[in-house]
């Protein structure tokens, strides 16, 4: 029998997708970033697989071992009371059973959502039949665990710019509809898109549409008007933080001043107090 608190978090995450406005999920990469996001009032969090990997010294693309990734997800989920959705890339493994094992690991880590993508690390998209088998295995594993895990199926049609530009919408819709039928609860389409394309994606499927906010994408109010139900930002916050770190290093090594630190640092007492308060107590 699944833990009742975990079931409640899973149901809460589902409810947050049906409020009529986009669920904005910032992507945490460690406990510290998760605590800061949650303290800012975010009702749920996602993880960034790339952000977690970068912070641990690995490149993106399932190069960080699955157990280490799950351990990072577990530390985040244990420290915040809000629901956490885990980005597990392509599911970690060559077979559907490998994906099922990953789902079981995500649930054991305390997360109540998962992203599984169809993009291949070498480029291109996974064979549709293979992707459908992986999604079905994920759904069955979650159901067997008794947790209504929110399965967010991602297609990289626009992310990788697959095929002629005028055919991408149709290709993405074809895949998304198949993923829905295989048990997905939400559909994730990262990549730079204009509003008409986003509207087309939202209108063509009857599941919550997730897009990736960032460079070249419309602001969240415009995404809301286009029918988007969920906005994530991937590794953007982590890379922005690393940009600040690099700027600090360059300033210290150059003029030897401290403006980069002074301009953005959270005051020590505030941060110390934030981490002294364990919301799980």
Which token pair is 221?
Answer: 């109010």
Q: Is the pLDDT of residue 266 over 80?
A: yes
Write the pLDDT tens digit of every residue in 170-183: 999 999 999 999 99
Q: How confident is the model at residue 77 (pLDDT cuts 50, 70, 90)?
A: very high
Question: What percentage of residues in the chain have a pLDDT greater than 70?
Answer: 99
Write the pLDDT tens digit of every residue in 58-68: 999 999 999 99
Number of C-beta neighbours around residue 130 at 10 A: 13
Q: How many CA atoms lie within 13 A of 225 on its CB side?
A: 7
Which token pair is 270?
Answer: 């505030």
Q: How confident is the model at residue 279 (pLDDT cuts 50, 70, 90)?
A: confident
The structural domains of the chain, ordered by start, are: 4-234 (3.20.20.60)
Mean pLDDT value across residues 28-57: 98
Residue 150 CA to residue 1 CA, distance in Å, equals 18
Q: Is the pLDDT of residue 223 over 90?
A: yes
Note the pLDDT of residue 281: 64
Note the pLDDT of residue 278: 77
Write the pLDDT tens digit of every residue in 89-125: 999 999 999 999 999 999 999 999 999 999 998 899 9
Q: How confident is the model at residue 1 (pLDDT cuts 50, 70, 90)?
A: very low
């Amino acid at each position: 029998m699944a833990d009742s608190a975990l079931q409640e978090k899973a149901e809460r995450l589902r409810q947050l997708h049906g409020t009529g406005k986009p669920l904005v999920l910032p992507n945490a990469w460690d406990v510290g970033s998760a605590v800061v996001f949650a303290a800012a009032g975010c009702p749920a969090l996602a993880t960034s697989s790339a952000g977690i990997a970068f912070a641990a010294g690995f490149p993106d693309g399932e190069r960080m071992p699955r157990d280490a990734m799950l351990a990072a997800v577990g530390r985040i989920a244990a420290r915040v009371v809000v629901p956490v959705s885990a980005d597990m890339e392509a599911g970690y493994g060559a077979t559907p059973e490998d994906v099922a094992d990953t789902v079981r690991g995500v649930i054991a880590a305390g997360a109540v959502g998962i992203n599984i993508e169809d993009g291949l690390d070498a480029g291109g998209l996974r064979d549709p039949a293979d992707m459908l088998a992986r999604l079905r295995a994920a759904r069955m594993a979650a159901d067997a665990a008794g947790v209504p895990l929110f399965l967010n199926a991602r297609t990289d049609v626009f992310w990788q710019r697959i095929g002629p530009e005028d055919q991408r919408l149709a290709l993405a819709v074809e895949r998304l509809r198949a993923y829905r039928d295989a048990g997905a609860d939400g559909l994730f389409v990262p990549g730079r898109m204009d509003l008409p394309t986003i509207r087309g994606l939202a209108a063509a499927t009857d599941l919550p549409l997730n897009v990736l906010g960032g460079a070249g994408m419309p602001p969240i109010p415009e995404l809301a008007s286009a029918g988007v139900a969920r906005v994530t930002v991937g590794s953007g916050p982590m890379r922005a933080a690393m940009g600040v770190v690099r700027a600090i290093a360059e300033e210290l090594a150059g003029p030897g001043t401290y403006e980069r630190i002074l301009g953005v640092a959270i005051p020590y007492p505030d941060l110390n107090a934030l981490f002294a308060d364990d919301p799980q107590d």
